[in-house]
A = this chain, B = another copy of it.
């Protein structure tokens, strides 16, 4: 029964106020009741929902995936294999991104750290950026 203001919700979940209103505008958070003077009032259920959203976002899930999760959670008795699918998909996306970053790392690392010229002309750091042929295998 303890209803809180948007500022309080912001503090409790570490979510900026405009972001909360944004989530409401895209339908991730339901429109909350208002005071007589039109201010939003949130109940503990909304707090939990927003905490879920923020944590999933922090873990890199996209809004649409979160929308799916929330849809599932609205039917607690239903099956959960779709949730597992979403998680697995996301893990695969993360792995792909890590692999790509590591390939980029290797390509850039190739930039000779000891540059013998100290001039833009012939600087290996710039050359390796200019010429894809100098890149190692994994370069995107």
Contact among B77, B107, B123 with A59 in the assembled complex (CB-CB below 8 Å): B107
| Nearest CB in chain B: distance from A90 CB, A | 7
> In the complex the two chains form, is A77's CB within 8 Å of B125's CB?
no
Copies in the complex: 2
Q: How far is the CA of A41 from the CA of B115 in the complex (A)?
A: 36
The prevalent SS among residues of A at the interface is helix
Are the CB atoms of B59 and A118 closer together than 8 Å? no
Chain B residue with Cβ nearest A107: B59
What's the minimum C-beta distance from A86 to chain B, rounded to whole angstroms? 8
Closest chain B residue to A61 by CB distance?
B129
Candidates B58, B72, B84, B91; contact of A105 at CB < 8 Å = B91
Interface pair A69/B132, CB less than 8 Å apart: no
In the bound complex, residues from chain B placing their C-beta under 8 Å from that of A109 are 91
- Shortest 9 CB-CB contacts between residues of A and residues of B: A80-B123, A76-B121, A58-B140, A80-B120, A83-B125, A76-B120, A98-B101, A52-B130, A72-B120
